[in-house]
Amino acid sequence: MASEKPDWFRLDAAKFLQDGLVDAMSTLELGATLRLLCRQWLDGYVVDNPQILARQCRLSTAEMEMAWPILSQFFPVIESGKRANRFMWIERQAVMADFETRRDAGRAAAQRRWDAKKASSRGEGDEIHDGDTSPNGSPNAGPNATPNADGIADPIQDNTTLHYTTLQKNIHRLLRRPTLTRKLSS
């Protein structure tokens, strides 16, 4: 089954780097911000616990204490115990809504196909191929039955041409070579 979480997110580099808060970040704070943005994308939020966030950012307690004043502004509290960047929150909600719409449309289409197949097998649907309700034709059709799909004859019953697999063609080609024939005959 496919993942229920979005795999990737779009990062608008121009908007991200033009943000005044991002522009004021040190390299350490910028790295922590990107790790937390990834965590928020997967989980929908980051926890409101500086010790856990320090571990997720791969920072020591001292480094997190230095970075926390900036990080806490970039990830404000959204509800008790949860923080989120507002731009990432909005983008993720839009992606998840689109994901759910596509998933529901896919399920509905699969259900329609399944229902049509069941109705067809019970003979309730439109008849296909001169009374045969199977979309692929009947394997037991008589000699005067119409061929499968759009007038294409069944290759098993078509005796006008030989049908070789690629391997058979290559074997016949090799056997026609004079050097191989002499070696086989001796």
- Cβ atoms within 10 A of the Cβ of 122, count? 9
Strand, helix or coil at 138? coil
Given CA atoms 119, 125, 131, 134 in this order, what sign does their dihedral have? negative
- Mean predicted lDDT score pLDDT of the chain: 78
Report if residue 155 sits inside a domain. no
Domain total for the chain? Answer: 1
Report if residue 113 sits inside a domain. no
Q: What is the pLDDT of residue 12?
A: 85
Whole-model pTM: value is 0.54
Tens digits of residue pLDDT in 82-136: 999 988 888 888 888 888 888 888 899 998 999 888 888 876 655 444 455 555 6
Report if residue 70 sits inside a domain. yes
Which range of residues forms the domain containing residue 50?
Answer: 13-85
Angle between helices 50-57 and 61-74 (to 10 degrees): 100
Report if residue 26 sits inside a domain. yes
Q: What's the half-sphere exposure (Cβ side, CA atoms, 13 Å) at 111?
A: 6
Taking 50 as the threshold, does the pLDDT of residue 2 lie above it? yes
Confidence grade of residue 184 (pLDDT, cut at 50, 70, 90): low
Report if residue 40 sits inside a domain. yes
Q: What is the pLDDT of residue 75?
A: 94
- Cβ atoms within 10 A of the Cβ of 87, count? 14
Report if residue 44 sits inside a domain. yes
166 or 175: whose pLDDT is higher?
175
Cα(70)–Cα(84) distance, integer angstroms = 14
Report if residue 67 sits inside a domain. yes
177 or 97: whose pLDDT is higher?
97
Taking 50 as the threshold, does the pLDDT of residue 1 lie above it? no
Pairing of the two strands 46-47 and 82-83: antiparallel
Report if residue 153 sits inside a domain. no
Here the tokens at position 74 are: 């970039």
Residue 80: alpha-carbon gap to chain centroid: 34
The one-letter amino acid code at 36 reads L
Return the percentage of the chain with pLDDT > 70, whole number. 64
Cα(92)–Cα(38) distance, integer angstroms = 11
| CATH number of the domain where residue 40 is located | 1.10.10
